[in-house]
Amino acid sequence: MDQISEPRNWRGVSILERQHYMANSMHVNHPDFVLAANEIRRRSLRCENENTGAGILVLAPSGAGKTHLCRFLKSRWPDEIGDAITRVPVVKFDIPPSPSDRSMGRAMLAAMGDPTWNVGTAIELDSRIRTLLPKIGTKVILVDNVHDVPDRRGVKGIQLIGNWIRNLIESSKRTVVLLGTSAAMPIVYSNSQLRRRTVKQLHIDYFYTNTDRHLALFTRFLRHLYAALPLANPASDLDESLVKEIHYATFGIPDYIFQLFIEAVALAVASGREHLCQEDFANAFPLIHKDALALGLNPFLPTGPKRPLTQEYEPFFNWFDKSNPPLRSPRGLHP
């Protein structure tokens, strides 16, 4: 899948415009992300061709890229505003605060643009969903933060929401993508019928550096990121020490990586430069972690720690918990 960013002359462009571009338009290929996006597209074409529904479970820890994936899919299949009706190829909604069959239907109808989304019984809402989906040309349905269901509902509630999603897959005859952390797995695995309909499980994970292969993968990602930056001369000497310092500062979390670079680009441009240097990262680091760290923790400073910041009172201490478990086993690869 090609990057959606296009080369342009960034010299003289304001900092705010560059930051907006990085936060909303810039895309850099993450191998897991590419696999997920391509599989969702492939499955949606198959559902359309066969007139059947299918489920895909996308698991990703916090900050790994679920929101970015949703935004990317919406950009590839944008809404089309017409005189009579707005076409919504990708419908995306979050698990509501008190998930039930009625609140799920209301959340989905609101995302579909139904002006009466909050009116009707659960059965009436489901009927409107089935009627409206073909009218607005929906291809993919994204259900985000599925991991919230186990925290908000008991065993019976999990079963109820699982049944609602199963029925949605069957009745919509579309690709239904469930997104969440690994804590979302009980929704699928506690419901045998939903598990049979959710045949594909995809992972979008953090970056790692504790093997040569994973260090090379992270380095390649950073080189692509540098090339996509809104700078006139973005090229930089990306030696192994800087790669590891970026990893220490971000724990390999894509969201933190992008935040670090957004701040670093702003600092470079404010200094009159069109390329990044070590100083930009050193000054950007406290901006993304704010008051969560002591002055001596900056990995980009000569005296800073050259290790992941996972000790007590450090930014990534106890990062993994019940709501955000690691995708890999404790004996596997951690950032």
- Name the residue ranges covered by the structural domains of the chain: 31-203, 208-335
Contact indicator for 174, 138 with CB cutoff of 8 Å = yes
Enumerate the H helices of 91-237 as residue ranges: 101-112, 122-135, 148-152, 155-172, 185-189, 192-197, 212-228
Quote the CA–CA distance of 15 and 9 in Å, as a whole number.
14
**Predicted pLDDT at 324:** 87
In this predicted structure, what is the pLDDT of residue 330? Answer: 41
* Number of Cβ within a 10 Å radius of residue 167: 18
Contact status, residue 201 vs residue 175, Cβ threshold 8 Å: no
Supply 52's token pair. Answer: 């059947």
> What DSSP element (H or E) covers 42?
helix 31-50
User: What pTM was computed for the model?
Assistant: 0.89
What is the C-alpha to C-alpha distance for residues 36 and 57, in angstroms, rounded to an integer? 10
pLDDT at residue 43, rounded to an integer: 95
Distance CA 264, CA 5 (A): 19
Integer Cα distance of 116 and 110 in angstroms: 8
Instruction: Determine the residue type at 162.
Output: G
Residue 3 is predicted with a pLDDT of: 42
Instruction: From the options 3.30.365.10, 3.40.50.300, 1.10.3300.10, 1.10.240.10, give the CATH code of 31-203.
Output: 3.40.50.300
SS3 (DSSP) at 148? helix
Please, are residues 178 and 148 in contact by the beta-carbon 8 Å criterion?
no
What sign does the dihedral 322-328-331-335 (CA atoms) show? negative
Hey, which bits of the chain come out as E strands? 54-59, 80-81, 86-87, 90-94, 140-144, 175-180, 200-203
Give the burial class of 18: count Cβ atoms within 10 A of its Cβ; 0-12 exposed, 13-18 middle, 19 or more buried: buried
Q: What is the C-alpha separation between 51 and 41, in angstroms, rounded?
A: 15
Structure tokens at 60: 């990703």
Phi and psi at residue 184, to the nearest 5°: -80, -15
Tokens, residue 163: 């049944």
The angle formed by the CA atoms of residues 206, 209 and 214, to the nearest 5 degrees, is 80
CB 60 within 8 A of CB 205: yes
Residue by residue, pLDDT tens for the chain (335 residues) are: 444 445 678 999 999 999 999 988 888 888 899 999 999 999 999 999 999 999 999 999 999 999 999 999 999 999 999 888 899 999 999 999 989 999 999 999 999 999 999 999 999 999 999 999 999 999 999 999 999 987 777 788 888 899 999 999 999 999 999 999 998 888 888 888 888 887 688 999 999 998 999 999 999 999 999 999 999 998 767 899 999 999 999 999 999 999 999 999 999 999 999 999 999 999 999 999 986 666 689 999 999 999 999 998 899 999 998 888 888 644 444 56
Distance CA 67, CA 56 (A): 16
